[in-house]
Structure formats: C-alpha cells, structure tokens
Chains A and B, each alone.
Chain A
Amino acid sequence: MRSGRIVVVGASLAGLRAAESLRANGFTGELVLVGDEPHEPYDRPPLSKTVLSGWLGTDRLLLPTTRNLNARRLLGVAATGLDLPGREVRLADGRALGFDGLVIATGTRARPWPVAQEAALRGVHVLRGRDDADRLRADLAGGPRRVLIVGGGFTGSEVASSCHDLGLPVTVVHRGAAPMASALGDLVGGMIGARQRAHGIELRLRTTVTAFEGEGRLRRARLSDGGELDVDVAVVALGSVRNTGWLAGSGLAADAGGVDCDPAGRALDRTGAIVPDVYLAGDVARWRHPHFDAAPQAFEHWGNAVAQAEVAGYNLVHAPANPRRATALPAFWSDQFGLNIKSVGLPHLADEVVLTQGSFDRGPFVAAYGRDGITVGAVAVNSPRVLDGYAALVTERASFPPAINAADSPEPTVHGGQS
C-alpha cells in the first residue's frame, strides 16, 4: 500500500514510529495520526524519573521525528469505535475517518484506584501521562509529610526513588514478597528491595491499602495489616489497563489484556484469522514472541514499541508474501536509587536464577534466568554493557546455568523456586 489513507490510532511512541516507518518505506498517501492526549508525541520513561525529581520539565519530552513526516495530527480526540467492514474509525467528536490501512497503537492507561470517591480525593494520583506528572509534581512541591506509593512495581519504585531524591519520606506498600518481583523474581527483587530500604524507604511487603480517607484532601490510608498511615500524597501504581474499549464489538480479538496480533503485527479476529491491512504496535499488542514457548502477552517496553512499529510500517506498505516479524528479544530498563536495572529476554518465565557476575550484596551484578535447563533471560544491575552477551545466550538457547567464568563471576549457586 503506497497510496490511499492510513490512519494511525495512538500518538505516542509506537504511533509516531509507525508513521515514520510508513513514510520511510515509501507510503506517499494521506497519513493521519490520532491521539487522545492534546500533546505532540512525547517520551514517557522520564515522567517517573527526571521529571518528578525536577530535572526536566514536561515540555522537554517531545519525541524527535523525521522532517518529512507530512502527517495530519488529530490530537486531543480519542477514537471511540472501529467499523471494520465499513473501514472507518469513529472519533469522540462525532467524526468518522475512513481508512485503507490502520495501525492500532492506543497503548495503556494507569489502572485507577477502584473506589472512585477515594480516587477523587486531592492528593491521590496516578502516573501515566505528562498531565499526571505535572499534577503530581505540583503536589510534591507542597512538601507533603509523607508520600505513599501503592504498588512496588517499576513505576512505583521509580516514583519512590524520585520522591526520595526530593528529600520526602516515602512508604511503599506492595502486595508481593519483593518489589518488581513479577518481572524480576523474588530473589533479585528482594536484593533491589534491600537497596531501597538502605536508602530509607519504608517498604511494607505482602500488604495492601484498603482505603483512602479524608475530606476533599487525602489525610490517611488504611492498610490490610490493620495499620494506618498519615499521608498527604499517594501515588496509585497498580499497573496498567490496555486501551481496547473502543474496539468492543469490532470483531478484533480485543479485551482488557490487549489486542491479539501475530509476530508480523497483523491484527487477528476472534477466530484467530488475520484481518487485512490492520496492524498492531506497542503496549496494546498481545502476541506470542517467536523465541519463547509461552502464552501470548503484551510487552510494555519502549524498545518493543519501536520494533513493532517499524515492522508494522514495513509490512503495511510492502505487503510481502513473507512479512517481517518482530524478533528482537524483549528488553527493558529502570533507573532508581542510583541503580540502572536492565533486563533482556523473559526473566519472569524462569524457574531458576543464578548470580553470574558481581555481588548481590554490594556493587554491580548480573543474574541469569533459566527454565527447564535453558537460559531465558538476564538482569544486569549497574552493568548494562555486558547485557548483549547474555542476549546472545538467550538467542542461542544456551543451557542453564550458562558458563561465564568472567573475572567477577562467583562460584555458581543456582536458586530455584522462581516466580
């Protein structure tokens, strides 16, 4: 498809990169970029890090783009429906946009606090977009007595780190046995949790928040262990919900877990059949990564959004008999408490983990993750430059534990019972 009209729904990283890929691959027709936020496409990872800690304003996050994108931008307008047979996207302002090709990149939103009345209290925040970040930053600038973070996943842990940088007392309440354990496992999550505590974070594990209290303004949180906390600011970091509501009834295989597609990014309908000229990219896409024998999943990773967008653009323009597939290994990073955490592969699949370099107790370390005797992932803390070597091990399905024998490799001790 080189001419006609292609609509890209979603104007964040995946949508913008898909638009660029379409142009780079020779699409000369009309290109429309639809986004529900009023902002030009911007980068989200800094929101929980340098933005909150005050280093960077939210007006400094615009994603760089190629000069000749030549796309019509419909920003601040959500898509509300998809008519596949009629080849039309319906918009919140009542308009309908016909298309010849479609890229769905609507991403996710923060999972809201389940009790609307409590969520509406001033001081109760979520963090997904730049407006969220501006509101939270303004609240933090007021000098709260204590900040409560609900959920010790990546966003929660990074927000905790930024609040700590601002000199604020922080409590993290986390349902699991260790922060970020669902991605990194209990062992490595526990090591990182210990380092968070060493910075003075009050980390309350296997605990949940049962209620927020206050009149107009948040004053107190009640906890599942019977305790209560006097807090002025709370950040609800309970993960994300995929923006698929607008696809209800469209015929696509879409639910709260994402929209199904194949590794080439092609959308699937409820029977598993390929829907012509409709592609997925980014956090909303649920697919089975060809390298792993695992259930389909959505990868909420920056690099995945870019890789899928490039693939979708290529395949949509060229419609090759053998379409390109996204094959790069999943990878993500986090910066918090002076730690750079980088992951490659799928550590959460593992049933065993081994420290391969450095030390859990101090300094940098790398841990490799295995399942059924095969290396499936690795996590590097403050040693990002070796991770490509581990990616090669995952790619070649190296046996686990892998032989590294680096100068900083300890005697191997395999820890079972992961995940």
Chain B
Amino acid sequence: MTYPAAVPYGRLLDHANRHDPYPHFADLAGEPIQRLDECTWVVTGHAEISLLLRDPRLSAQDEVDPRAPVGSDGKPVRGPFLMQDPPHHDTLRAQTMHQFVPRILGIRPHIETTVARLLDRYGGPGEMDVVEALAYPLPVAVICELLGVPEEEESVFHSFATRLTRALDPVETLTEQEIADLAVTRVEWREYLLPMIGRRQTDLGTDLISGLLTEGDPATRMNTVELAITLGLLLIAGHETTVNLIANGTLALLRNPDALDRLRADPDLVPFVVEEVLRHDPPVQQTRRRATADVRVGGRVVPAGDKVVLLLPAGNRDPRRFADPDRFWPERPDNAHLAFGGGVHYCLGAALARMEGQAALGALAARLVGPRLVADPPPYRANMLLRGPAELRIAFDGVAASDAR
C-alpha cells in the first residue's frame, strides 16, 4: 500500500530540495493530519501540531533503547532530556533551567559586544560569508562563555557541533558511514568533556558546568555521563539552531528589501523581524512523537504505538492560522509560530536564541551598506532537521562603524 503523503514527504527529505522545501510542505497542507505509512502520520496543521505538542499521550522517548548505557552508579543513564518523558525529563530539565536561566539574564550586553567585534573586522566595500563571519562564531562564543570554556577552544566546539548535529536527522537520511562517524564523534565528545568536568569537580567555578555539578538534591543530580549528554544537547540545540536563525534571517531581509528598510528606519522592529523569521523559515523543521494511547486529532484517530511527524514549518504556514502565510511580514499580528515547539519540551533556550537573533539581525541591518546576495539560493548543508545555509555570501559597499557599547 502506498500513501499519497509519502511522495511529497519524500521530496522533503531529498537534499535537492533543501534550499526550498516550502512547496512540498504546501503539498502536504491539504489535510492537517495524514498517514505516511502503516505506523507513521505527518501533521501539518497549526492547531493539530499545537495540540499534539502539549498532549501527555505523546511520548518523545524511544520505545526501547538497547544502547542505553549504565552509569557508574549502576542505574541506567538518562538520555538527553529532549528525548525523555516526565518524570526523568522534568528532573533533568529543571536542573538545567535552574542553572541556565540566571546565567543568560544579564548576557545581552556580552552578545551585542561580540556581534560588534565580529563585524568590526569589515570596513570598506567587499564580501562576507555571513555564516562563517557571524552566524557560527556568535553562538559558539556565547556557549563557551556560559560553560566557562576558554576562547581558544571555540574551534573545537564548532567542530563538535557540526558533527553531532547530524544525529538529529531522521535515520533514513543518513548513510552507513555517517552513522558510524556519529558513534565515533559521541565517544570523542565524552572523552573531550570528561576531563573538563573532572577539573571542575576539584576546582569549582561560576560557570554552568560547575553549577550543574552542585545543583539541587544529590539524589537526583546528574552524574558525569548525564552531564556530558546534557552539555551535548545544549551545544547542538543551542548552537546549530541559532546559526540557522541568523542565516535564515539575513537571507529573508535581503530577499525582502522593504522589510529591511523598515527595520533600518525603526530598530524597535527587530523583535518582530526575528519572530517572523522563526515563523517563515524556522531552524527546526520537524519533531517526532509516539502515541502512548489512541489520540483523536484533526478528525483522525492516531492509534497507540503509532509515530507522528510534526512538521513545524508547515504549521507555521498553515493558511487556516496565518493570513498570506508565504509572505515575510514582520508586522504580522498574533504571530504564534511553532518554531520553539511547545509543551514540556518547549525550547529551553528560546530567550537566548531571541537575544542572539535580535542582536545579529539588528546589527546587520544597521551597519551593512548596500548589502546584496551573491548567490540566491545559497548552498545548503545536508541536515534536514536543523536546516540552514552552508554559506551565505553577501556583497556590500561598506560596513558602518559600530555604535554599540
């Protein structure tokens, strides 16, 4: 048996369409929820995705994970909390939030200074790859600051982030070689982090790693392996996504010069620009769940055990929810997009991502003189789930001096 949804979904997976998956999302949008195969559904409706994200009958956890290792305490190691259900999820997430949130509260000036420093390297007419010049180094610098990692280690983090991100893609889009490489990368990541964690165990600092080592109740505190897993999650989820937010945003502004002009005339528009980038071209392209009970949604019943693929960008362009959904329109009222997900797994770093996106796009709009795309579309990385340009070359007549500080 074949299902109509399988064809457009297959085109979504195809790298040849990575630069513009939106027509293929539109092909799936006729029905808010539809079968992909015998045990999988794709969901494209905004209301339906919103509901399923917040439904306790949807699990984010793999059914059984035979690879789950056992920690030094003899208990099974809890995986990254993005892929855990309550109550383990809640414990791990609460510990991370408790240490993460206070550390990002005052970080905006640091972000703005970093953006200014990165753009200060340019002056007269020329070209830059926005990905390499700004989108990548900014979040790496921020996460290294949070973790208390010295600046010279940033390139190591950058490399790990790139390699680990492939792990999030649907396994059917990975080659055997990529799967084998990922296993090696995971071991290397742990080997890189464990000494770093060990040093803090004997000499506590004020950074996030030190905080997590002493967080809360010793009975539920993360062990070192879980800590390494959580840090890997923060690196991928907090880094690659932000890279794509900045690159996607730059692309949208250069493709929509009217919006860029309005942002230049009114810098207070920048939060709305970032929200519209998140709706129009979200960094995270899908998230998956498994039904633990029969769930009625959008007039269908997803039986217990079936999987659902929630296509966040399709929900973000659901014409039932957003007027003129393909239009990039920062002033859009009631822009309740799904870019950060929802429910218990709502993006932990949303506030930080917004700060970084606002600082980067605000500075680019204010400082670039006569910017234009060198190649449209730009080349895209292979990643399907965390989708974004591999490079984004722009030409400009100049980069104005910074007035930040």
Question: Are the CB atoms of B90 and A364 closer together than 8 Å?
Answer: yes
Question: Are the CB atoms of B54 and A388 closer together than 8 Å?
Answer: yes
Chain B 80-92 near chain A by CB (<8 Å), digits 1 or 0: 0000011110100
Question: Are the CB atoms of A358 and B57 closer together than 8 Å?
Answer: no
| A403: B residues at CB distance < 8 A | 57, 293-294, 304
User: Beyond A356-B56, A407-B59, is A396–B296 a contact (Cβ under 8 Å)?
Assistant: yes
Q: How many A-B residue pairs have CB under 8 A?
A: 75
- Main SS of the interface on chain A? loop
Chain A 279-295 near chain B by CB (<8 Å), digits 1 or 0: 00000000000000000
| A405: B residues at CB distance < 8 A | 57, 292-293, 304
Question: With A and B bound together, what is the CA distance between A409 and B87 in angstroms?
Answer: 9
Question: With A and B bound together, what is the CA distance between A229 and B165 in angstroms?
Answer: 64
**B257 interface residue per 8 A CB criterion:** no
B61, B296, B342: most-surrounded residue (chain A CB, <10 A): B296
**A226 interface residue per 8 A CB criterion:** no
Q: Closest CB of chain A to B321's CB: distance in Å?
A: 16
Question: With A and B bound together, what is the CA distance between A387 and B50 in angstroms?
Answer: 12
Question: Are the CB atoms of B87 and A386 closer together than 8 Å?
Answer: no
Candidates B57, B294, B297, B346; contact of A406 at CB < 8 Å: B57
Q: Closest CB of chain B to A141's CB: distance in Å?
A: 28
Question: With A and B bound together, what is the CA distance between A390 and B55 in angstroms?
Answer: 7
**B344 interface residue per 8 A CB criterion:** yes
**A67 interface residue per 8 A CB criterion:** no
- Main SS of the interface on chain B? loop
B50, B51, B87, B292: most-surrounded residue (chain A CB, <10 A): B87
Candidates B87, B294, B343; contact of A388 at CB < 8 Å: B343
| A407: B residues at CB distance < 8 A | 59, 61, 85-88, 292
Q: Closest CB of chain A to B218's CB: distance in Å?
A: 16
Closest-by-CB residue of A relative to B345 is A385
**A366 interface residue per 8 A CB criterion:** yes
**A383 interface residue per 8 A CB criterion:** yes
**Contact size range, B:** 20 to 34
Question: Are the CB atoms of B343 and A386 closer together than 8 Å?
Answer: yes
Chain B 292-336 near chain A by CB (<8 Å), digits 1 or 0: 111011000000100000000000000000000000000000000
Question: Are the CB atoms of B59 and A386 closer together than 8 Å?
Answer: no
**A132 interface residue per 8 A CB criterion:** no
Interface residues of A in 384-406 (CB under 8 A from B): 385-390, 392, 396, 398, 402-406
Candidates A388, A392, A404; contact of B293 at CB < 8 Å: A404
Question: Are the CB atoms of A385 and B59 closer together than 8 Å?
Answer: no
User: Beyond A388-B51, A388-B54, A407-B59, is A358–B86 a contact (Cβ under 8 Å)?
Assistant: yes
Question: With A and B bound together, what is the CA distance between A340 and B342 in angstroms?
Answer: 18
Q: Closest CB of chain A to B310's CB: distance in Å?
A: 14
Closest-by-CB residue of A relative to B304 is A405
Question: Are the CB atoms of B86 and A364 closer together than 8 Å?
Answer: yes
Question: With A and B bound together, what is the CA distance between A383 and B343 in angstroms?
Answer: 10
Question: Are the CB atoms of A386 and B54 closer together than 8 Å?
Answer: yes
| A64: B residues at CB distance < 8 A | none
Question: With A and B bound together, what is the CA distance between A315 and B297 in angstroms?
Answer: 30
**A408 interface residue per 8 A CB criterion:** yes
For the complex of A and B, 4 pairs with smallest distance between CB atoms: A389-B55, A407-B85, A388-B54, A405-B292
Q: Which residues of A line the B interface, CB within 8 A?
A: 356-358, 363-364, 366, 383, 385-390, 392, 396, 398, 402-409
Supply 20 A–B pairs (Cβ within 8 Å), ascending by A.
A357-B56, A357-B86, A358-B86, A363-B87, A386-B55, A386-B343, A387-B54, A388-B50, A389-B58, A392-B51, A398-B296, A403-B57, A403-B304, A404-B293, A405-B304, A406-B57, A406-B292, A407-B292, A408-B86, A408-B87
Further contacts, 7 of them, CB under 8 A, given A389-B57, A389-B58: A364-B86, A383-B90, A386-B343, A405-B57, A406-B86, A407-B59, A407-B61
